[in-house]
Structure formats: C-alpha cells, structure tokens
Amino acid sequence: MADSYYDPADLRKFGKITEWSEELGNKFFDYYGKVFEEGALSAREKSLIALAVAHVVKCPYCIDAYTKDGLQKGITKEEMMEAVHAAAAIESGATLVHGVQMMNKYNKLSM
C-alpha cells in the first residue's frame, strides 16, 4: 500500500502522456516549453509564478517540480513562501468575494 495517493515517482512519467495521445501530448509540451522560455518575464520569475499557482491548484507534482526548479534558479525560501502567501491571498479573496453573491441571493429570497 502506498503512503500517499500521489507517488512522487509519477512526476518522472509525465512525458509518457504522449503515448496515449501523441499529437496532443506533443502540442502541450511544445506550448509548455515555449511558455517557460525567457521573454518579458525571466525564467526565474516564471518559475516563482508557477510555484505559487501550483499551490492554488493544489498540484503536489508541480509543487515538487517548481520548488526544485526555483532552487536551481536561485529563488530563496523567503521568496517562495511570499509567493505562496500572495497566491493564497488571491485564492482566499476570490472565495470571499463570492460571499457577495450569497448575500445578494439571501437578501432577494428573504424579502
């Protein structure tokens, strides 16, 4: 029995998604590679953004990958944690702003 639902070894198998859909898998990896090239944002900045997003979408594989990538790109633990907090704040705000929808519905139904 596995200790976790997510097996860290599966991250190394990610490239195998092309085996069941070669065209779409290759297009995805081409796109993915292009996105993380240097551009208006540095590869370092993109790695930090990816790490923050990985936490919001709750992808343990992505968290592992972009923590490692960030370390390789010189991102400090403080920068990583600050990025995670920024992402968490946006996610929390997005959840809470939907409270306005609930308030509007409640007010409409309780008239």
Name the residue among 57, 45, 32 with its Cα closest to residue 83.
Answer: 45
pLDDT the model gives residue 2: 56
Summarize pLDDT for 18-59 with one digit per residue, the tens.
999 999 999 999 999 999 999 999 999 999 999 999 999 999
13: amino acid identity, one letter: K
How far apart are the C-alpha atoms of 18 and 35, rounded to whole Å? 19
Name the residue among 38, 65, 43 with its Cα closest to residue 54.
Answer: 65
Residue spans per domain, the chain: 41-110
Q: What integer is the mean pLDDT of 73-97?
A: 97
pLDDT the model gives residue 4: 75
Q: What is the CATH number of domain 41-110?
A: 1.20.1290.10
Look at the block and give the residue holding tokens 């790490």: 51
Look at the block and give the residue holding tokens 């944690």: 81
